[in-house]
Structure 1
């Protein structure tokens, strides 16, 4: 199963620029997309009904803001939207496709912006951690993909010393990742197969991304521990042709039948 996660800066413009064609060429099985910046009814038919995928959407209540989608080659057993807390559900931040033994989610964490302050972001982290802990009691595996709006370790951003007091790399945000990949038992799937430096998915100055490596790794695929052994390849496609985030592509060597 090849799973791709990508934050776009508006799904309509990304598809107009060739996103769906690229995903087909990339041989994706499941694609998690974030930051649609449009409600489903505002998207053109070629976006809502892609030729090679089944597409599912979860809108934010506000216009031109947030929203997530998941594309699947195979029809999932079920689609779940939201996480039963208002900050997530009103802002269209989570959608999940359930297959027989594994669920794949697409999540967009809040940034510090006009809709959310730092306390809101930390509250979202807390609620999501509680959700992940509950998932561990279920008899299925999980792959959660998306923009977590934070970097975990110093290797995950270029200028970490200058960003120790910046949202996205604050001590409490990094400690949250320690909980996810520690007591909660989840795995940073990318780092299971790719230990390289300068593995970034977002750049403050997207125009200079190809000329320097002043980036952050904000986009993750985290998986439950039973999937760890099946991670065989992980890479970042940083052409940035669909927004200011790069796509994260991970190969899981199992069939969920």
Structure 2
């Protein structure tokens, strides 16, 4: 079973940059995207053989998530059942007989960490939501989690220590999340691999110089560790400031 996750940083923009060819080439069972940046009816997207699930932000041109799935879900849930956080289109959950698939676009703490308090409250509510799902059946969580976990997950870690996405508080929240019974699939297969990132700033020729961050993840319930066949970061694919990431599971 093949999963793809990609923060497209605007679906309408990436549709002009060969998105459909990339989508067809990947031929994933599940293709999850973050930052759609659109409202219902603003794009016509023909994906034969796929069921389409959308969660739109109340604010126009902001946030938003989608999942395109070959197999229709038994149940679909939008948000995390928390009105404080469910107006930005950040989470979709699909329920299947053997697992839950969740795509997530985690709030950014922003410049000078001005939204850090909101972000940390989100983390607590989101973990509670995931644990509720995990108590029923295993989870596969993917998306832009807006945090580089360890020093090896970004190139310039020393100068970014207190930047959004690499603050001590955000990193600790991800550690606590994983310690609660979940696996970072890429690090599970590649525990010491360096120089592989999923996001690069548009400034300072960052992608050309591979001055990137690994902030996009596939995280699974620990019980699925033995089912992980492959976890990769598709750095050769362009079209966004993020590149897609991949997970293959034997389910």
**TM-score, structure 1 as length reference:** 0.91
Q: 1:178 offset after TM fit, Å? A: 1.2
Contact 2:185 2:228 in 1 (8 A): yes
Contact 2:200 2:207 in 1 (8 A): no
| Counterpart mapping for 1:142-221 below 5 A | 142-182=139-179, 184-195=180-191, 196-205=193-202, 208-221=205-218
**Matched positions, count:** 248
1:149-191 deviation per Cα after TM superposition (whole angstroms, max 9, x unaligned)? 1111111111111111111111111111111111x11110112
1:131-163 deviation per Cα after TM superposition (whole angstroms, max 9, x unaligned)? 12222321x111010001111111111111111
Partner of 2:5: 5
Distance 1:186 1:242 in 2: 30
Residue 123 (1) aligns with residue 117 (2): no
Distance 2:76 2:204 in 1: 36
Contact 1:194 1:235 in 2 (8 A): no
| Counterpart mapping for 1:78-89 below 5 A | 78-89=75-86
Q: 1:112 offset after TM fit, Å? A: 3.0
| Counterpart mapping for 1:1-257 below 5 A | 1-44=1-44, 47=45, 49-113=46-110, 117-138=115-136, 140-182=137-179, 184-195=180-191, 196-205=193-202, 208-254=205-251
Q: 1:210 offset after TM fit, Å? A: 4.3
SS in 2 for 1:40: coil
Q: 1:226 offset after TM fit, Å? A: 1.5
Q: What's the RMSD between the two structures over aligned residues? A: 1.8
Contact 2:100 2:133 in 1 (8 A): no
Contact 1:88 1:94 in 2 (8 A): no
SS in 1 for 2:186: helix
Distance 1:206 1:20 in 2: 26
Residues 83 and 106 from structure 1, CA distance in 2 versus in 1: closer, same or farther, beyond 3 angstroms?
Answer: same
Contact 2:104 2:144 in 1 (8 A): yes
Distance 1:36 1:206 in 2: 22
